[in-house]
Amino acid sequence: MSRCFRSSAMIIEKELYDRCCRAYQRVIVELEEKLSAINAPEDEIPILKQCFSIIMEVSQSYLLPKEY
């Protein structure tokens, strides 16, 4: 299963998240929500494409941690 489907844990470490400003924390939370909203079909390839698309969209405006 892809890393996009962590249900309750964030992809980045809490310590890194806590050091970020509130505005950037909101961006990370929105990114995490979009990634976890992707439903897992039987074929994982579309999932990876959706995850990549979401991450690339956010990365157009923000630098993202390497975990993404």
Is 28 within 8 Å of 58 (Cβ atoms)? Answer: no
Say if 68 falls within a structural domain.
no
Identity of the residue numbered 9: A
Q: Look at residue 67 and tell me whether its pLDDT is greater than 90.
A: no
Say if 40 falls within a structural domain.
yes
Question: What domain range is 55 assigned to?
Answer: 3-59
Is 53 within 8 Å of 68 (Cβ atoms)? Answer: no
Q: Report pLDDT digits (tens) over 5-64.
A: 444 678 889 999 999 999 999 999 999 988 888 866 666 778 888 999 999 999 999 999
Number of structural domains found in the chain: 1
Three-class DSSP category at 23: helix
Q: What is the mean pLDDT of residues 61-68?
A: 89
Model pTM score: 0.69
